[in-house]
Amino acid sequence: MTIQEIFDRFDSIGSCVFATIGNGYPETRIAHFLACDEEGLYFMTMTTKPFYRQLKESGRVSVCALGADPSVRMTEDRQLEMKPGYFIRVTGDVREVGMEEIKAKNNPDFAYGIEDQERYPAMTTFVMYRAKGEIYDYDFDMKTRDHKLERMRFSFGGFPVEKAGLSITDACIGCGTCMRGCSFKAIRKEGDRYVIDGSRCDECGNCLVHCPAGAVRHKGL
C-alpha cells in the first residue's frame, strides 16, 4: 500500500485515536491526519499540550480508526451483529517539521495547515516517517463474501512487519481438528500439511486450544 492510500483510508474516516505514553501510561485523544507526501503522514498539535511533550519525549505514536457503523446489536438468538467495516491502525516514528520546511514543500495539501499555524502560533506539525500498520476488514456475518476477515499489513520508511495470523509447525499430525473448528475459514490443507492463511486469521486461538499435538504457534506469552 502506498502512503497516499493509507492516508486516504484514515482521511475518509476523519476522527482517529492517537495514542502516546505519558508518565508511563498510555494516553489517547481524537485527532486527524492533515496530509501526506512521499515522506509520510502529517498531523498537527499545539506545543502547549501534553500530546506535544509526549511526542517529543518518545518520538513515537500509534493511531487507529474505525471505518464503519460502530453499533453492535444483539440478535434474537443472542448473537452479536456488526455491520461490515474495517479498522485501520498505524504505529511508528515521528519528527517535528518546522513551518519553513512545510512551506518549502509548495504542496497545496498543506495550505490549511499553514493557515492554521499562522492563526494559532502554538500549532506545530509532525510527520510519521517510518511506520507499520494494518487494515482489518471484517464481515463477521459473511453477508458480502464467504469469509469473515481480510487483513492487510503494510509499512513504509523501512519499518519491519510481522506477518498476521498464527502458524502451524512441523509437530502437526494432520488430524484436521483445527480446520473444522475455524469459523474464520483461515485454515486449508496443502498435501499432508495444514496451513493458516494469515490474511484471514483473527488470532482467536481456537485452533491452538484444540490441537492435540501442540502444533500451533502463537504470539502471546
Which residues are near ligand SF4 by CB under 6 A? 165-166, 168, 172-178, 182, 184, 186-187, 194, 196, 201-207, 211-213, 215-216
Q: Which is nearer to ligand SF4, 93 or 203 (CB)?
A: 203
Q: Which is nearer to ligand SF4, 100 or 192 (CB)?
A: 192
Question: What sign does the CA torsion over 10, 12, 16, 18 have?
Answer: positive
How many Å apart are CA 56 and CA 96, to the nearest integer? 8
For residue 50, the tally of other CB atoms under 10 A from its CB is 13
How many Å apart are CA 33 and CA 10, to the nearest integer? 7
Q: Which is nearer to ligand SF4, 55 or 135 (CB)?
A: 135
For residue 214, the tally of other CB atoms under 10 A from its CB is 10
2, HSE (Cβ side, Cα atoms, 13 Å): 6
* Single-letter code of the amino acid located at 16: C
Q: Which is nearer to ligand SF4, 35 or 178 (CB)?
A: 178
Q: How far is the CB of 181 from ligand SF4 (least distance, A)?
A: 6
Q: How far is the CB of 111 from ligand SF4 (least distance, A)?
A: 45
CB of 213 within 8 A of CB of 173?
yes
Q: How far is the CB of 164 from ligand SF4 (least distance, A)?
A: 9
